Amino acid sequence: MKFNNKESFFTKLRVKEQGPLIIAGPCSAESEAQVMLTAQALAKQDVHMFRAGIWKPRSRPNTFEGVGYKGLEWLSRVKQELGLKVTTEVANARHVEEALKYGIDALWIGARTTVNPFAVQEIADALQGVQVPVMVKNPINPDLALWIGALERIYNAGVTDLAAIHRGFSSYQKSKYRNVPVWQIPIELKARFQSLPIIVDPSHIAGNRDLIFAVSQKALDLGYDGVMIETHPDPENALSDAEQQVTPNALKDILERLQVRKTAY
């Protein structure tokens, strides 16, 4: 795989500000009002891309599993009315086709999908001949080959605007993190593919809003290209990932405190 970081969609989005690429928005789109309220607050900050999950891969059934297709209309409103780029998670070919119809600017593949080569290949097949940027989260288990394999499947479908998202790895051991970062794995990925943009998702690594700043800073110290931070207007009452989401004001504070390393990775 060969990448051109300078020409990448992800690099170009942030080129003027010099700082990291900033992706923010709720874990889940819950209602049109919640999406618009969050996006309006984020559009006033240095946020480049709005995220919201509409198909939610929950570990257990009988929990909120996302609003589904109607959420695409809300994301499209964010794009049209607020000028923010928008991104959502896709887990199968139908998701890809519908997201593309609504002009979603970038897609991401979630950690529970990256572990499954059949699902990733199905997504790759749906992306054949389509130029949409794709971000691939690491698999939930600490397996670098699976992460690279998923990137390769999407790349082989002709998608060259790729980025990796580091969201930590599931562990049965007790830890202060929800998903242990195992920084060595993304460092090895970056060593193999130096021009591949890499984004940290401190929200899913931390699992707790108090750790978001420290995890983000650590990633920027390692030369990461961007951050994806879950942001909700009322985190305590969020329908998913309530403990780790921050308010738009708290996000502002985190972004102001982050120091960007000037040298390359």
**Binding positions for ligand PEP, rule: CB under 6 A:** 27, 53, 57, 110-112, 137, 167, 204
The token pair that represents 114 in the structure block:
């990256």
Strands (E), the chain: 21-25, 49-51, 85-89, 106-109, 134-137, 162-166, 198-200, 226-230
DSSP state of 200: E
The residue sitting closest to Mn ion, measured at its beta carbon, is: 27
Interface residues for Mn ion in 24-43 (CB under 5 A)? Answer: 27
Q: Could you give the CA distance from residue 59 to residue 25 in angstroms, rounded to a whole number?
A: 21
Stretch that binds Mn ion, among 3-11, 107-115, 176-184, 241-249 (CB under 5 A): 241-249
Candidates 89, 122, 201, 241: give the one binding Mn ion (CB under 5 A): 241
Give min distance, CB of 96 to ligand PEP, in A.
Answer: 16
Closest to 226 measured CA to CA, from 4, 20, 54: 20
Judging by DSSP bridges, how do beta strands 134-137 and 162-166 pair with one another? Answer: parallel
Residue 139, binding choice from ligand PEP, Mn ion, none, Cβ under 5 to 8 Å by partner class: none
Residue nearest to ligand PEP (CB): 110
Cα 265 from Cα 252, distance rounded (Å):
25
CB atoms within 10 A of CB 87: 25
75 binds, among Mn ion, ligand PEP, none (CB under 5 to 8 A by kind): none
- Letter string b/e over residues 223-239, b meaning 16 or more CB atoms within 10 A of that residue's CB: ebbbbbbbbbbebeebb
Q: Residue 72 CB, nearest distance to ligand PEP (Å)?
A: 16
Show the 3-state SS of 179-247: CECCCHHHHHHHHHCCCCCEEECHHHHHCCHHHHHHHHHHHHHCCCCEEEEEECCCHHHCCCCCCCCEC
Give least dist CB 215 to ligand PEP, A.
Answer: 13
d(CA 46, CA 129): 32
Residue 30 interacts with which of Mn ion, ligand PEP, none, CB < 5 to 8 Å by class: none
- 261 contacts which partner out of Mn ion, ligand PEP, none, CB within 5 to 8 A by kind? none
Least distance from ligand PEP to the Cβ atom of residue 2, Å: 26
d(CA 211, CA 174): 16
Examine residue 89 and tell whether it contacts Mn ion (CB under 5 A): no
Comparing CB distances to Mn ion, the nearer of 126 and 227 is 227
Question: Residue 200 Cβ, how far from ligand PEP at the closest point, in Å?
Answer: 11
Interacting partner of 167 out of Mn ion, ligand PEP, none (Cβ under 5 to 8 A depending on kind):
ligand PEP
Toward Mn ion, which CB reaches closer, 84 or 238? 238
> Minimum CB separation from ligand PEP for residue 119, in Å?
12
> Which part of the chain contacts Mn ion (CB under 5 A), choosing from 133-141, 172-180, 190-198, 238-246?
238-246
Site residues for Mn ion per CB under 5 A: 27, 241
